[in-house]
């Protein structure tokens, strides 16, 4: 994480990184797939394509979709199928 980034920026980075591999800090901005830049305040509207080609536009739509979803902290993410030993595995 970048040092002087807001909590919103940190959350946006984590959200993007959960889905995409190529997510990097560029100062206070987030670079995604080398095709999209997300600037403060890190909302879907603050994401812009770096080129006008179709791949950049597709990446931009994907980034905006990810950022439009509510942030869920890692601690609240749970496995869907956990076996509990204390109740016979049911």
Burial of 45 (0-12, 13-18, 19+ CB in 10 A): exposed
In tens, the pLDDT along 28-85 reads: 999 999 999 999 999 999 999 999 999 999 999 999 999 999 888 766 555 555 555 5
Would you place residue 2 in the very low, low, confident or very high pLDDT band (cuts 50, 70, 90)? low
If one compares 57 and 3, the residue with the highest pLDDT of the two is: 57
pLDDT at 36: 99
Task: Supply the pTM of this predicted model.
Answer: 0.78
Residues pairing with 68 in the sheet: none
| pLDDT, position 52 | 95
Nearest to 20 by CA among 30, 29, 6, 9: 30
Per-residue pLDDT of 10-36, as tens digits, reads 999 999 999 999 999 999 999 999 999
């Amino acid at each position: 994480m970048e040092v002087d980034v807001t909590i919103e920026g940190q959350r946006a980075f984590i959200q993007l990184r959960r889905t995409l591999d190529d997510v990097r800090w560029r100062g206070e901005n987030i670079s995604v797939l080398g095709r999209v830049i997300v600037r403060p305040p890190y909302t879907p509207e603050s994401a812009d394509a770096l080129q006008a080609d179709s791949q950049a536009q597709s990446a931009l739509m994907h980034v905006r979709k990810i950022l439009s979803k509510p942030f869920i902290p890692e601690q609240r993410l749970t496995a869907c199928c956990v076996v509990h030993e204390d109740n016979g595995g049911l």
